[in-house]
Amino acid sequence: MFKSLYLILILTLLPVSLSKTEAIEALIRRLDSKRSSPSVQEAAAKDVLKRLLPTHLSSFDFKILSKDSCGGDSCFVIQNHNQSIQNGPEILISGTTAVEIASGLHWYLKYWCGAHVSWDKTGGIQIASIPKPGSLPHLKDEGVKIQRPVPWNYYQNVVTSSYSYVWWDWERWEKEIDWMALQGVNLPLAFTGQESIWQKVFGDFNISSDNLNGFFGGPAFLAWARMGNMHGWGGPLSQNWLDQQLLLQKRIISRMLELGMTPVLPSFSGNVPAALKKIFPSANITRLGDWNTVDGNLRWCCTFLLDPSDPLFVRIGEAFIRQQIKEYGDVTDIYNCDTFNENSPPTSDPTYISSLGASVYRAMSRGDKDAVWLMQGWLFYSDSAFWNPPQIKALLHSVPFGKMIVLDLFADVKPIWETSSQFYGTPYVWCLLHNFGGNIEMYGILDAISSGPVDARVSKNSTMVGVGMCMEGIEQNPVIYELMSEMAFRGEKVLVLEWLKTYSSRRYGKALHQVEAAWEILYHTVYNCTDGVADHNLDFIVKFPDWDPSPKSENSILKHPHMLHGNRRFLFQEKSSNLPQAHLWYSAQDVINALQLFLDAGKDLAGSLTYRYDLVDLTRQALSKLANQVYIDAVTSFQQKDINTLYLHSETFLQLIKDIDVLLASDDNFLLGTWLESAKKLALNPIETKQYEWNARTQVTMWFDNTNTTQSKLHDYANKFWSGLLEGYYLQRASAYFALLSESLKHNENFKLEEWRKEWISISNKWQAGNELYSVQAKGDALAISQALYKKYFT
């Protein structure tokens, strides 16, 4: 009965041909066969419970179910336990894998016990509401069964490994994998340690370790070296780094397998060391175009690409897959490859594109006969001028059906499935991108998350096979990821406002009308961004405008691309304006009103870490938008030659930086020192310590190369609202700017833009190379500080 109902459901929601359904089901069966045994998974799920809620270890019983028991799909079942033993289990949670069991545990703790789980750096867990052992809430009747409407819940972006994970040790990774399991993630990217694999593979092709020193990027820039955007920047990598990252990857994959996850491993995209061209002079190896260097410096730019049509491409790609299998075992059939990501083929001829795609897949399948190519669909958005329907179809149809899965990476804002005839029959995953550069900004589109995956799944001829979270940086906006994770188990659209009421009561451990009212405002403002703009944080404190405000200056007319573009970059939006513009899609006053409501609840929630995080973040949001207006007022005063008003506004802007720094210092989750110390902790010697700290400092500031007079094109891309970074870096930069602005006005001169650039580039380079210590412990009372700042700036 359950099997027939399952088939009816699939035919209704995924109206694809039987052959297509069979191809996906065959893949799922192969992946299921690679999972750990039921006993191993049950034990792994028990360990998740032990780390999350050790006091209740005996309160739950876990059991692996067959898919037939779930109607042929993946599911979890929550039931009252048949208590025959005193002080024995109270709740039985069954699931098709340990991930489903952990998801069922999380579901029960949320919706029966009022608990909350988020990243430690977004407030952590709220478990005070969970009754003591022996008093857990019972379920009605036979309990509850929840099925996945689509097979997969994908997690990570290829750059998350650099923006968020780069300095993690096993202790932090263990927490993250637990979080994944509790959120239902069953298809995570596993990119750690691949440079060690490449060292061995390239060694077999006579590439020495010295040759690789200029090929691998530094630890904080590995993601872009892997994609061929650049090489050598921040490097070289020590053998210590290579070895410890490989050992870490083995532990990561082992834990993923124990929990029933399918790791997605990397594959060969064509980027090769320069030495390969000398060793194989007849190979079709060309240099890529420049990717955001200041002046085309070949030391960093224009990586060599081995053409996929060259026989050597297949040899290297096969060798890489086989070396991974040798190191990790036969753990997956799904491999990521993004050869054409921000790197268009040399011709738009569909026949040529099809041959390239076939060659990329051939390299995978030679190493793993059952390989499936998982590709980020970002290129179809970022380079839409090139990727028209004939080109998209040629690439997607270059491999056998069922051998490619596309990530509709930006579906929360710009869904490609709607305009590509469901990727022309190719299975795809509906993904949330949401975050760029790990920026800290309250932002999102809750309505798109609550309805987008459902609309895609039930649409005509849908080929959707999963949902995914593909943010560039994690540990921000926990409400977004909580709802997105739930969509992996929800067959119908969510009523967001009602959901937010339960979310806020679970997050803080109690329901308060002030908080509910605040969240209703946030739902309609910061979490209702419908302008279609990708939200890079352009707040002027962290992304200080580089422009000349002098009247009639050729540099006073600004263009505001949300990302750089060129032969390998993309453009979100470009506006011309006489004044800098930060992204603002809501009434700032409404958010100030929400902050007042949060403060009104402070007496009742002062001891809550989740409340403290949200209060600090909301206060920061309100103050940073105020600072944007203060900056505009300051430069307008300069243009009006009003030096007294210029001084007043510039001093207010600088004071806002200092005050926000004090605010952020009151919560452990907004500290620069934590980022820097985690980098240095991985070093074995002073050389590595210096290198890792430079990598950490550079990524969040200048990012890439610069000259004495030209800043990095990617400066502030990965900006952060962190205590220490504001007072130690952003304040110096803004102070220099306003000092020069005032000096120009005193002497009745135009602003000296080149002089300003020289000064702030010098300030930045000195700070990047510094080693001054920053606090790793919070100080101050967040509630009292927030109240004082509200009174100071908003009353």
Do 605 and 458 have their domain in common? no
What was the pLDDT predicted at 555?
A: 58
Whether residues 531 and 417 fall in one domain: no
What confidence score (pLDDT) does residue 130 get?
98
Which region among 9-13, 115-119, 343-347, 742-746 has the lowest average model confidence (pLDDT)?
A: 9-13
**CA 689 to the chain's CA centroid:** 26
pLDDT tens-digit readout, 478-517: 999 999 999 999 999 999 999 999 999 999 999 999 999 9
Predicted confidence (pLDDT) at residue 47 exceeds the cutoff of 60: yes
Of the given ranges (75-84, 545-554, 568-577), which has the lowest mean pLDDT?
A: 568-577
Residues 121 and 170 in one domain: no
Percent of the chain at pLDDT exceeding 90 = 89
Q: What is the pLDDT of residues 661-675, one digit of tens each?
A: 999 999 999 999 999
CA 376/CA 230 separation, integer angstroms: 19
Distances 107 to 93, 256, 497 between C-alpha atoms, Å = 10, 20, 19
Residues 92 and 69 both lie in one domain: yes
Give the strand pairing for 576-577 and 558-559.
antiparallel
* pLDDT value for 103: 99
| CATH code of the domain covering residue 749 | 1.20.120.670
| 697, 735: one domain | yes
Range of the domain at 671: 519-794
Q: Which amino acid is at 659?
A: D
Lowest mean per-residue pLDDT among 22-26, 59-63, 144-148, 777-781? 22-26
pLDDT score recorded for residue 572: 34
Please say if the pLDDT value at position 396 is more than 50.
yes
pLDDT tens-place string over residues 558-607? 544 433 333 333 333 334 458 999 999 999 999 999 999 999 999 999 99
Tell me, yes or no, whether 132 lies in a domain: yes
With bands split at pLDDT 50, 70 and 90, how would you rate the model's confidence at 84? low
Please report the pLDDT score of residue 553 as a whole number: 59
Q: Does 413 share its domain with 489? A: yes
- Please check whether residues 528 and 475 belong to one and the same domain: no
Over the stretch 599-630, which tens digit does the pLDDT of each residue have?
999 999 999 999 999 999 999 999 999 999 99
| Residue 450, φ and ψ in degrees, nearest 5 | -75, -20
pLDDT value at 195 more than 90: yes
> Confidence band (pLDDT; 50, 70, 90) for 20?
low
The answer to whether the beta carbons of residues 403 and 440 sit under 8 Å apart is no
The pLDDT of residue 244 is 98
Query: Are residues 536 and 667 part of one domain?
Result: yes
Residues 136 and 169 in one domain: no
Predicted local distance difference test score (pLDDT) of residue 534: 86
Burial environment of residue 70 by CB neighbours within 10 A (0 to 12, 13 to 18, 19 or more): buried
- Whether 5 is in a domain gets the answer no
Mean pLDDT of 653-657: 99
40 and 156 share a domain?
Answer: no
| pLDDT tens string 714-726 | 999 999 999 999 9
Give the domain CATH number at 270.
Answer: 3.20.20.80
Closest CA to 375 of 392, 388, 352, 350: 392
Residue 251, H or E segment: helix 239-258
Q: Could you identify the residue written with the tokens 């790990």?
A: 438
pLDDT in tens, 210-248: 999 999 999 999 999 999 999 999 999 999 999 999 999
Q: How many domains does the chain have?
A: 3
Please report, as a single letter, which amino acid is at residue 776: V
* Residue 2 within any structural domain of the chain: no
pLDDT tens for residues 245-270? 999 999 999 999 999 999 999 999 99
| Mean pLDDT within 625-648 | 98
Asked if 162 and 220 count as a contact pair (C-beta separation under 8 A), the reply is: yes
Pairing verdict, β 428-432 and 404-408: parallel
Q: Does residue 530 have a pLDDT over 80? A: yes
Same domain, 260 and 223: yes
Residue 181 maps to a domain: yes
Asked if residue 162 is part of any domain, the answer here is yes
Residues 555 and 576 in one domain: yes
Give me the mean pLDDT over the 337-360 stretch: 90
Q: How far apart are CA 661 and CA 748, in angstroms?
A: 34
> Cα(first)–Cα(last) distance of the chain, in Å?
65
User: Looking at per-residue confidence, does 179 or 535 come out higher?
Assistant: 179
469 within a domain of the structure (yes/no): yes
Instruction: Specify if 1 maps to a domain.
Output: no
Q: Which of 147, 167, 191 is the last residue of a domain?
A: 147
- What are the angstrom distances between the C-alpha of 116 and each of 120, 130, 148, 209, 520? 12, 10, 21, 47, 19
Closest residue by Cα to residue 527 from 484, 468, 466: 484
Number of Cβ within 10 Å of residue 656's Cβ equals: 25
Establish if 670 belongs to a structural domain: yes
pTM for this model (two decimals)? 0.94
Which residue among 98, 113, 147 closes a domain?
Answer: 147
Residues 689, 692, 696, 698: what is their CA dihedral angle, to the nearest 10 degrees? 110
- DSSP-H helix ranges across 127-227: 160-163, 170-182, 194-204, 209-213, 222-226
Q: Pick the last residue of a domain from 79, 114, 147.
A: 147
- We report the CATH number of the domain holding residue 49 as 3.30.379.10
Strand partners, 376: 407
